[in-house]
Amino acid sequence: MPPVTGQPPKATDPAPAAGARAALSKAERAFLDKLAAGQSVAALVRTGTTVDVGEWFRRGRVVGVCWGDEWVMFAVGRRPFVERIPTRALTASVYNHLVGELVLAPAPEARLKQLRMSPVEAGRVLRWMLSVCDEAVKQ
């Protein structure tokens, strides 16, 4: 655990997937385990974005997960939302600090193209996307 200094963690620090996992609901953790199927989670972000998941009076909160060379978004409900996007399709992604959203680009086939999150979380996700793309170029 990093020392407490009164400063937020640097965007270049590894994403604390274990801490973020604890913030998920029991249903979200179970759904994540089912989706991951043993894959190592590089980053996990519970976003401020909500989607229709078939509930009458509630929308599901979107969770973003990075693993392998894939960005996965899901929300739990009667009709769960799941979207998988290859990281290579997200090479132009940026953080829009004016509205506080990570913009997934170009990804023309993506249903969700903007996710509300903090600048620190977005920095971690963008750093992960950049590292995956760099590894793909080296191969």
Please give the share of the chain, as a percent, with pLDDT higher than 70.
Answer: 81
**Amino acid 37: pLDDT:** 83
- Where along the chain do its domains lie? 17-138
CA distances from 82 to 73, 133, 134 (A): 6, 23, 26
Backbone torsion region of residue 23, taken as left when φ is above 0, otherwise alpha when ψ lies between -120 and 50, otherwise beta: alpha
Asked whether 29 and 21 are in contact (CB, 8 A), the reply is: yes
The sign of the torsion formed by the CA atoms of 70, 74, 78, 79 equals negative
- More confident of the two residues 13 and 20: 20
Alpha-carbon gap, residue 88 to 107, rounded angstroms: 9
**CATH classification of 17-138, choosing from 3.30.70.920, 1.10.287.110, 2.30.29.30, 3.40.50.150?**
2.30.29.30
**Amino acid 138: pLDDT:** 59
pLDDT grade for 14, boundaries at 50, 70 and 90? very low
**Average pLDDT of the residues in 56-70:** 88
Does the pLDDT at position 129 exceed 90? no
Mean pLDDT for the chain overall: 82
pLDDT tens string 92-118: 899 999 999 999 988 888 899 999 999
